[in-house]
Amino acid sequence: MIQVENLRKEFGTKTAVDGVSFSVQKGEVLGFLGPNGAGKSTTMRMVTGYFRPTSGQIRVGGVDMLENPEEAKRSIGYLPENAPLYSDMTVGSFLGFCAELRGLRGAARDKAIDRVLETCFLESVRNQSVDTLSKGYKHRTCFAQSIIHDPDVLILDEPTDGLDPNQKHEVRNLIKRMGENKAIVFSTHILEEVEAACSRAIIIDRGKVVADGTPAELKQRGNAVVRVVIKGAAGGSIRAEIEKINGVHQIEPGLSSDEQFSGRVLVTKGRKSADIAREIFGLASGQKWQLEELHQDEGKLDEIFRSITRSDTAV
């Protein structure tokens, strides 16, 4: 349903999107993950025909977006970042207006409104004006707008941003449910959303795709981590002993002092964090140090995300 090849977008001298390629089939929910400024929104704006790419190809439902934008856009529903609403309209009339923009008239229009009111749990506020809605209802109204024409393709830019945990949960379920017969791309920087709703995920960093796979595949790409706090000796000397353990890949020190070591121990790929945790436990008891904390994070998605997208610490 969506085929994107070698997409680039330059703003002046800045390259916001740098050779991004991906495809999404019907029945697939693709998570678009990346830190702020990675190029997620810019990519989505190009896929929806809102920005013209500097170069690259976009096909939606087999239609070329650059050659045939009107036709390509017909099969797309788009929830932009900070989606706009007409605050003096009622929810029902706003959705009716959106339906008409999509060419729906008469009974088809009314049916579409009823359908999205039901899908997005908005029936109770149908006749309420938009500016009197709570944030969650406003958001769902934006969401309803994006699916009013029952599109085959849905592009959702941070659809859970600014929602409370219950609302996030609801929106994720909605995405998952709709993903059964649509092609959906949604961006987020929340890792658990990817596990909760996506069949596949792409990690994008500084305009480039740096990882692409199912959540399970992505998990296998990272180092497991053991987080440790040990007291009883100088941080530096405890660290030096941990470093000697076979299977320790690297240590990221935290707040250490003359009396304690605190840090994250990255486990060599292919080795289990449980084994390394046991070694550290043995080391601490042998040395008569006090083990204050010992946590295993076995291939967590957010560890992988952190290790792949270190734009904050990269020089």
- Binding site residues, ligand ADP, CB under 6 A: 11, 14, 16, 34, 36-42
With beta carbons less than 8 A apart as the criterion, state whether 203 and 308 touch.
yes
Is the CB of residue 84 less than 8 Å from the CB of residue 101? no
For the CB of residue 225, give the shortest distance to ligand ADP in the complex, in Å.
Answer: 25
- What span, in angstroms and rounded, lies between the C-alpha atoms of 172 and 192? 10
Contact assessment for residue 197 and residue 215, using Cβ atoms and an 8 Å cutoff: no
Structure-token pair, residue 204: 């994008």
Compare residues 18 and 241 and give the one whose CB is closer to ligand ADP: 18
The 10 Å Cβ neighbour count of residue 107 is: 8
Rounded to the nearest whole angstrom, what is the least distance from the CB of residue 187 to ligand ADP in the complex?
7
Pair of tokens at residue 314: 């990269």
Minimum Å gap between C-beta 40 and Mg ion is 5
Contact 203, 211 (CB under 8 A): yes
State the binding partner of 39 from ligand ADP, Mg ion, none, CB within 5 to 8 A by kind.
ligand ADP
**Residue of minimal Cβ distance to Mg ion:** 41
Residue closer to ligand ADP by CB (options 40, 102) is 40
Smallest gap from residue 38 Cβ to Mg ion (A): 8
CB of 272 to ligand ADP, least distance (A): 34
Among the residue ranges 37-45, 193-201, 265-273, 289-297, the one whose residues contact Mg ion (CB under 5 A): 37-45
Q: Is 41 in the site for Mg ion (CB under 5 A)?
A: yes
User: What secondary structure letter does DSSP report for 288?
Assistant: T
- Which of 37, 282 has the CB closer to ligand ADP? 37
Q: Which is nearer to ligand ADP, 33 or 304 (CB)?
A: 33
Please check whether residue 261 is in contact with residue 238, taking contact to mean a CB–CB distance below 8 angstroms.
yes
Strands, sheet with 290-297, edge to edge from the N-terminal-most edge strand: 248-253, 260-267, 225-231, 290-297
Dihedral sign from CA coordinates of 274, 189, 22, 37: negative
CB 41 to ligand ADP: min, Å: 3
Rama region for 252: left / alpha / beta (φ>0; ψ in -120 to 50; rest) = beta
Nearer of residues 40 and 306 to Mg ion, judged by Cβ:
40
Q: Identify whether the C-beta of residue 77 lies closer than 8 Å to the C-beta of residue 147.
A: yes
Binding partner of residue 34 among ligand ADP, Mg ion, none, CB cut-off 5 to 8 Å per kind: ligand ADP
Binding site partner of 86, from Mg ion, ligand ADP, none, Cβ cut-off 5-8 A by kind: none
Burial bucket for residue 134 (CB in 10 Å: 0-12, 13-18, 19+): exposed
If the CB atoms of residues 41 and 262 are measured against Mg ion, the closer one turns out to be 41
Q: If contact means CB under 5 to 8 A according to the sort of partner, which of Mg ion, ligand ADP, none does residue 313 touch?
A: none
Q: How far is the CB of 65 from ligand ADP (least distance, A)?
A: 17
Q: Which does 37 bind (CB under 5 to 8 A by kind): ligand ADP, Mg ion, none?
A: ligand ADP
Q: What count of Cα atoms within 13 Å lies in the side-chain half-sphere of residue 220?
A: 6
The span from the CA of 146 to the CA of 140, in Å, is 10
Residue whose CB is less far from ligand ADP, 84 or 270: 84
Cα distance between residue 86 and residue 79, in whole Å: 15
Instruction: Quote the least distance from Cβ 17 to Mg ion, whole Å.
Output: 12
Q: Which is nearer to Mg ion, 40 or 140 (CB)?
A: 40
48 binds, among ligand ADP, Mg ion, none (CB under 5 to 8 A by kind): none
Residues in contact with Mg ion by CB under 5 A are 40-41
